[in-house]
Amino acid sequence: MSNSEVMGIVVRVMPSGDELEVELPIYSTGKEIKEELLAAEVAPRVDPEGNPYVYDLIFKRKNVSIGDSKTLFDLQIQEGDTLYLAPRLVPGGK
């Protein structure tokens, strides 16, 4: 397989509920995918108080988060698989 190979992945964004169909290179890392999604403004980088959101990219079929350095290939993610982009929540409701 070459670096240029891409596959179609579904990304569900929490909590907006948006469902996106994206083409991703199979050797793209979790960090690269998250960065690209955030650059495309699919989810906010900060909460309403200006504190940063940190996101997990979760591969539900295998119940794992794609680590920053792992690639889609590493996790054997396939065409049509669904990933969740979910913020790590901080508030506990003062």
21 near another protein, rule: CB under 8 A: no
Rounded CA-CA distance 70/43 in Å is 21
Stretch that binds another protein, among 2-10, 22-30, 41-49, 70-78 (CB under 8 A): 41-49
Rounded CA-CA distance 66/56 in Å is 7
Sign of CA dihedral 37, 38, 41, 47: positive
In eight-state DSSP terms, residue 5 is -
Q: Which of 64, 69, 78, 80 binds another protein (CB under 8 A)?
A: 64
Q: Which residues form the interface with another protein (CB under 8 A)?
A: 12, 14-15, 17, 47-49, 51-52, 54, 56, 58-60, 63-65, 67-68, 84, 86-94
